[in-house]
Amino acid sequence: MTEIAKGLEGVLFTETQLTFINGTEGILTHLGIPIQEWAEKSSFEELSYALLYAKLPTAAELKQFDADLKANRAIPAKLSEAIASFPKDVHPMQALRTAVSYLGLFDPQAEATSEADRYAISVRLIAQFATIIAAIARARQGKEAVAPRDDLNHAGNFLYMLNGQEATPEQARLFDIALILHADHGMNASTFTAIATSSTLSDMYSCMTSAIGALKGPLHGGANEAVMDMLDEIGDPSKAADYINKKLDDKEKIMGVGHRVYKYFDPRSRVLRDYAEHVASKQGKSTYYQILENIEKVVVERIGSKGIYPNVDFYSGTVYSDLGIAKEFFTPIFALARISGWSASVIEYTRNNRLLRPDALYTGATDQHYIDLNDRQ
Ligand code: ACO
């Protein structure tokens, strides 16, 4: 075998019934249902169930699932104490990676890998990610963690635990939509990482800890924070075009645009742009929104022909900013949503598990012999 699929582009290694993407037409579906319908009509809880069980829940099933999530929101006191003791200046994704790994130490079922065990652990992790991330955010500000409430939905409860006060119904719904948009996205780098770990028949906590590490990078989940850094650096909408043109002239990447699969607008970015436009029409265009508009124009004009268009991370930061969320928490919030997709994909793959073990073309030296340390030049 001499052909190398760099970045594993176009390599099919398994089948899935969860998520379909047509990158040239900008289509994304879960269980065959367009993402726009999920965003408009569903909830993060319902989509999480649908991904985990590969079917739409009945009303009774959804009620039970919702109750299970609510019942599992609390985290062990020892984990809360550990989070409070983390250095304040570490990136929240480092804190999340450590906290999820630590959480596994307190789960007597952690090593269990049957399908039923994987479901049960997934439900706990979906619920507890919210509590952990909110606790990390509060600890960084030197504040006490806020205990979860079981009269709020997943999105509303997270915002409550984050801010210590209840969000408005509009804010909670907007956040719910953002979670829906990020819940799953086919065979992306972090999902693949979770599956690669599970393919060794390792445990769910190890799978999710690996996935968090993969999501953290700026070419993947970390891009949303990098977009905000870029917007802050540009500062003024009138400077956006020159800034982007210079980056492109210098062959530098623009954060929040481009995608391995989409060669047209990412449909998730359209849902978020519609929201940003809605806010702009009511409150006037924010500086961030104006900068994004100007960036989009230059990007589409200059590199749209290469199939590079805004991705989901392009507008998500402005939505989170509107909700008062600090930019270091944009990627943890991505994880808060993607835990559903990671869990569902691991469960689906494990049903027909085969160890993932690709190969690399060896191009190093041959016919060499060991040289004694003292004889080396
Ligand atoms: N800005 C400018 N040019 C770009 C960009 C970009 N963001 N993305 C790709 N290109 C160009 C490359 O320079 C390259 O050009 P060339 O053929 O002239 O050398 C060509 O497009 C192909 O680029 P690759 O990096 O090889 O494409 P790949 O499929 O590996 O890239 C990726 C996908 C990593 C997402 C890339 O578009 C990128 O780095 N984007 C910025 C980071 C980002 O927003 N990531 C979030 C992705 S979505 C998500 O994970 C949620």
Paired with 217 in beta bridges are: none
pLDDT-derived band of residue 285, with 50, 70 and 90 as boundaries? confident
Contact 342, 211 (CB under 8 A): yes
Residue from 259, 269, 309 whose mutation best tests the ligand 1 pocket (most atoms within 8 A of CB)? 259
Burial of 59 (0-12, 13-18, 19+ CB in 10 A): exposed
Q: Which of 220, 236, 250, 266 is catalytic?
A: 220
| Residue having the nearest C-alpha atom to atom 9 of ligand 1 | 258
- 82, amino acid identity: A
Taking the centre of ligand 1 as the mean of its atom positions, its distance from the CA of residue 259, in whole angstroms, is 6
| Residue having the nearest C-alpha atom to atom 35 of ligand 1 | 259
Does the active-site annotation cover 185? no
Ligand 1 lining (C-beta closer than 6 Å): 7, 188, 219-221, 223, 253-260, 303, 306, 308, 311-313
- Domains contained in the chain, CATH given: 19-217+328-350 (1.10.580.10), 223-322 (1.10.230.10)
Tokens of 35: 């993402």
The mean pLDDT value of the chain amounts to 95
Res. 2: pLDDT tops 80: no
Per-residue pLDDT tens digits for 223-280: 888 999 999 999 999 999 999 999 999 999 999 999 999 998 899 999 998 888 888 7
pLDDT at 1: 57
For residue 311, which atom of ligand 1 is closest to its CA? 48
Contact 311, 222 (CB under 8 A): no
| Residue having the nearest C-alpha atom to atom 50 of ligand 1 | 220
How far is the C-alpha of 84 from the C-alpha of 159, rounded, in Å? 19
Does the active-site annotation cover 274? no
Q: Which whole number is the average pLDDT over 181-188?
A: 97
| Residue having the nearest C-alpha atom to atom 39 of ligand 1 | 219
pLDDT at 121: 98
Residues 6 or more apart in contact with residue 237 via CB below 8 angstroms: 287, 290, 291, 293, 294
Q: Which whole number is the average pLDDT over 59-64?
A: 98
| Residue having the nearest C-alpha atom to atom 47 of ligand 1 | 220
pLDDT at 29: 98
Res. 286: pLDDT tops 90: no
Does the active-site annotation cover 89? no
Taking the centre of ligand 1 as the mean of its atom positions, its distance from the CA of residue 258, in whole angstroms, is 5
Residue from 24, 260, 308 whose mutation best tests the ligand 1 pocket (most atoms within 8 A of CB)? 308
Taking the centre of ligand 1 as the mean of its atom positions, its distance from the CA of residue 37, in whole angstroms, is 28
Taking the centre of ligand 1 as the mean of its atom positions, its distance from the CA of residue 96, in whole angstroms, is 26
For the stretch 117-120, contacts whose Cβ atoms lie closer than 8 Å and that sit 24 or more positions apart, written own/partner, are 117/204, 118/204, 118/343, 118/346, 118/347, 118/350, 119/52, 119/347
pLDDT at 357: 96
| Residue having the nearest C-alpha atom to atom 36 of ligand 1 | 258
Taking the centre of ligand 1 as the mean of its atom positions, its distance from the CA of residue 254, in whole angstroms, is 8
Q: Which whole number is the average pLDDT over 46-64?
A: 98
Per-residue pLDDT tens digits for 355-369: 999 999 999 999 999
Res. 64: pLDDT tops 70: yes
pLDDT at 191: 98
Nearest one of 272, 259, 261 to 299, comparing CA atoms: 259
Q: Which whole number is the average pLDDT over 192-208?
A: 98
Res. 37: pLDDT tops 80: yes
Q: Which of 259, 359, 372, 375 is catalytic?
A: 259
pLDDT-derived band of residue 318, with 50, 70 and 90 as boundaries? confident
Taking the centre of ligand 1 as the mean of its atom positions, its distance from the CA of residue 253, in whole angstroms, is 7
Residue from 257, 315, 331 whose mutation best tests the ligand 1 pocket (most atoms within 8 A of CB)? 257
Tokens of 4: 């190398």
The H or E element spanning position 33 is strand 33-34
With H, G, I as helix, E, B as strand and everything else as coil, classify residue 113.
coil
Pick the range with the lowest mean pLDDT from 52-61, 220-229, 298-307. Answer: 220-229
Residue from 300, 306, 315 whose mutation best tests the ligand 1 pocket (most atoms within 8 A of CB)? 306
Per-residue pLDDT tens digits for 81-139: 999 999 999 999 999 999 999 999 999 999 999 999 999 999 999 999 999 999 999 99
pLDDT at 322: 85
Per-residue pLDDT tens digits for 238-252: 999 999 999 999 999
Nearest one of 167, 146, 135 to 323, comparing CA atoms: 167
For residue 252, which atom of ligand 1 is closest to its CA? 2
